[in-house]
Chain A
Amino acid sequence: MNASATSALERRPSLRYRRRYLTNLLGWTFYGVFFAVLAFALLDIIAVVLKHGIPAISLELFTKPTNGVSGGLLNAIIGTFLLTFGSLLLAAPVGILGGIYVAEYTASPFARAARYLSDVLVGVPSIVFGLFGYLAMVTWLGWHFSLLAGCITLALMIIPYILRTTELAFRGVVSELREAAYALGASHAKVTLKVILRACRGRVLTGVLLAMAISMGETAPLIYTVNWSNYVWGGHLTHEPVGYLTYVVWSFINEPFDSAHALAYAAALLVTVFVLVITTSTRLLLSRLDTHKPH
């Protein structure tokens, strides 16, 4: 190697080069730290819920209703189950059919308006839905705090969500499938329900499952429409308040009793595990749908 090349290699890197190097290093470090902070927050939330929640799990939890600030969670577990599936039962058909309309009639101004308004409605705070449920159903219709008022309120909240996910699912179906079905002489309803819906049912289902996770984790609208009850649901759709898990988390953690804290953590554990399992399995389902496209 000749002398001049050696000196060029041994020359100290220029100030500018070092500044660039340092900026790059700092930049990536910051980005990595930002990611780590978020990941840590999630893991810490899960850890706290598990750490305090698991010791609070007992057989009594699933067999006895709450009694003041102690007892079990039977009433709340049943209530959350009823509210979640009740709202889903009301919202899923409407949301899916509405999504079909918005996906299939793209040129109609009404469909475009419905899609835009769904997006706006998704952003309306849940407490506003709760207030509406209170004004419209609890007082105006005179249903009092009740299961039905809660289910309808939750359903109104998640309909626009299911509508939009269904629409996106339908748009993902290749048009050849549609053309082939029409070419065979199938009616509009048949093409949509038997061919396209079948082709994208996995994606429609993920939307419904995510909506289910949303309604399972809600609290604020239920305080306004369902309130709370220490008793297991007695079978009345109206005129009977119902217990639910998220209420226990919010209200029992502020009580100065260990039994209340244990119930709050147990309720948080149940809700969090359910919601995270639903969301994670939805993600897995989606990534599997992405790898093997059905058509």
Chain B
Amino acid sequence: MPETSETAYNFAYLDEQTKRMIRRAILKGVAVPGYQVPFASREMPMPYGWGTGGVQVSAACLTPEDTFKVIDQGADDTTNAVSIRKFFQKVAEVAVTEHTNEATVIQTRHRIPETPLTEDQILVYQVPIPEPLRFLEPSEVETRRMHALEDYGLMHVKLYEDIARHGEIATAYAYPVTVEDRYVMDPSPIPKFDNPKLESAALQLFGAGREQRIYAVPPYTKVVSLDFDDYPFDPSKAPHPCALCGAEHTYLDEVIVDDAGGRMFVCSDTDYCASRQAEQAA
């Protein structure tokens, strides 16, 4: 493995032993879709909470031939996306891109790109709390038991109580899904608008560094957002078009533009928005 001149660290920072350990966890995750595989997460040179799980999964997946893209909140130029991209440029010397269709590995925080992914791509999610039942049951011992027994009654009661109280399911992001009719899974804090995109041609890997868990949704896996027959899942978004590219089918950021509370809505996926604008200009 080449050592980069600048760092003297192994390719993609982690030693090969650690990468092998992570790859085993990934393979197990792929074999049991939606199941949270414990792994011996390492301290990374960025803080827990900054995407250490995603960074470790990316490090275990990247090869020198890969083209890497990092987004945070849908954008390539948010500070932490810049920081993670620079990290891998330094320790892995991989090619990087901002274009979704050019990337082979995409690390993301809080969004799924608008451009449909292909079988040649891997989407790596940064996950803060991998346990979808955590806010209903704080004990890990207890939630692991509930998953083992497929005991998801508590979750359905929570969704039902939401409807009784608010008239709808009051979860707007990190909306729980059932994977391949078995495990209830937290899709990471993506807006529920992105949930339908979880059924994808690409391999999707989820890394939670601090909580020491990896899980996966293999290509073309069935992913169903939890709902009730009479209250079907609704992937809502702000009822506006993008002010920059005019898209009506994308997730939007609300931007406050003046002191008087004036606001506009623009695509959160900056690459998607920019390519649409370029097409329109051409």
Query: Do the two shown chains form a genuine complex with each other?
Result: no
